[in-house]
Amino acid sequence: MKPTAIIAVLLAGALGYFVNHFTLAPKLTVAQETVVRLETEKNALQEQMVSMQGRMLSDAERRRMERERKELASLRGEIAQLRQKVQDQEQSQLLAAEKAKQAAANPESQELEEEEFEPSDYYAATLNVALELGMTLVTGGWQTSPGRRTFMFMTPTMGSSNSGSGYLQFVSKVAELDDSELEAFFLDNMRVSGNETDQAGGFDAEDAASLFEGIKRSPTGKLLGLPTVVTNAGKEAVVSTSFQIPSDTGAMLRKLELGVLPILNEDGQMELTLAATISLPEAEIPAEEP
């Protein structure tokens, strides 16, 4: 082959290489950029999936912890109530033993106390307590006659109207008991020396039912129902009514003024503000002749 032909072939090959190189180079660059972009998007999606899984696990963990927290709070409340009952019972037993000892040492002291008793024209209770729905609140403990004391009971429950809206109702009772019976009814620690009190106690549904049944069977105990108070959470309700306490000499007419303001929290517990006043009339209703 002639040198001129060889040079022509080499020039043609070189020209073809440069043409192909400059034609394919932009396409290769675009392909590389696409691969890099897709890889970046894939990594971003993987990070998002990991983050979402972490959040889902965190939400589930938070829900579990919140559920366990509420269960723990409920158990603590039940334990506190049991401890309070045990303490009340122990205190009642200690007080009863101490009073029996004092009475044995000085039998005239009780008679002297009854002789010095002077009734008041009113008896009042002012409370701000935490209370669970269905539990029975007790307050009072006033000495309304020689050797006898008056107590108020209130049980809050949740009701529902025909339209489906909820409301709170407070079923109230009043009881008059001999001092000698207070220990048997776990009310000995509710005594007050004056005509005003801010102390309160509580009974669960079963204990309250037993208490009321025991008072009904008592030969000297008196238990009367009062009007039910109906209101909504966060709304104050006030009622005024009269009731009669039977006695050997007649029936004592008494007037009750009662105000309640219930606040419900997220756990369903109630914070109750209560103000009650029992006033005595100037005269008794004469007893009917047999």
pLDDT one-digit tens code per residue, 54-93: 666 567 777 777 787 777 777 777 777 777 777 777 776 6
Q: Is residue 114 part of a domain?
A: no
What's the domain range around 25? 1-105
142 to 85, 126, 171, 233: CA distances (angstroms): 22, 13, 21, 29
Helix runs in the chain, H state only: 3-105, 108-115, 205-217
Do 46 and 171 belong together in one domain? no
Name every residue whose Cβ is closer than 8 Å to that of residue 124 and which is 6 or more positions away in sequence: 195, 196, 197, 275, 276, 277, 278
DSSP one-letter string for 105-173: H-THHHHHHHHT----SEEEEEEEEEE-TT-EEEEEEEEEETTEEEEEEEEEEEEE-TTS-EEEEEEEE
Last-in-domain residue among 105, 128, 154: 105
Do 48 and 187 belong together in one domain? no
pLDDT of residue 72: 74
Do 194 and 96 belong together in one domain? no
Do 244 and 200 belong together in one domain? yes
Q: What is the mean pLDDT of residues 167-177?
A: 91
Q: How far apart are CA 267 and CA 14, in angstroms?
A: 87
pLDDT in tens, 227-284: 889 999 889 999 888 888 776 666 778 888 999 999 988 777 889 999 999 987 654 4
Q: What is the mean pLDDT of residues 175-188?
A: 91
pLDDT of residue 34: 77
Closest CA to 274 of 176, 153, 160: 153
pLDDT cut 90: percent of the chain above it? 28
Q: Which three-class secondary structure state does DSSP give residue 235?
A: coil
Phi, psi of 278 (to 5 degrees): -110, 120
Distance from the Cα of residue 38 to its chain's centroid: 57
Do 134 and 57 belong together in one domain? no
Do 153 and 277 belong together in one domain? yes
Amino acid at position 31, single letter: A
Closest CA to 278 of 235, 226, 228: 226
Q: Is residue 170 part of a domain?
A: yes
Instruction: Give yes or no for residue 290 having a pLDDT over 90.
Output: no
Do 137 and 274 belong together in one domain? yes
pLDDT of residue 177: 92
Of 142 and 20, more confident: 142
- Whole-number mean pLDDT of the chain? 78
Do 130 and 62 belong together in one domain? no
Q: Is residue 113 part of a domain?
A: no
Considering its fold, how many domains does the chain have in total?
2
Say which DSSP state 273 is in.
E
pLDDT of residue 41: 80
pLDDT of residue 65: 77
Q: Which neighbouring-strand residues pair with 243?
A: 254
Do 91 and 161 belong together in one domain? no
Last-in-domain residue among 105, 133, 155: 105
Q: Is residue 111 part of a domain?
A: no
Instruction: Give yes or no for residue 163 having a pLDDT over 80.
Output: no
Do 22 and 156 belong together in one domain? no
150-179 per-residue burial string, b: 16 or more CB within 10 A, e: under 16: bbbbbbbeeeeeeeeeeebebebbbbbbeb
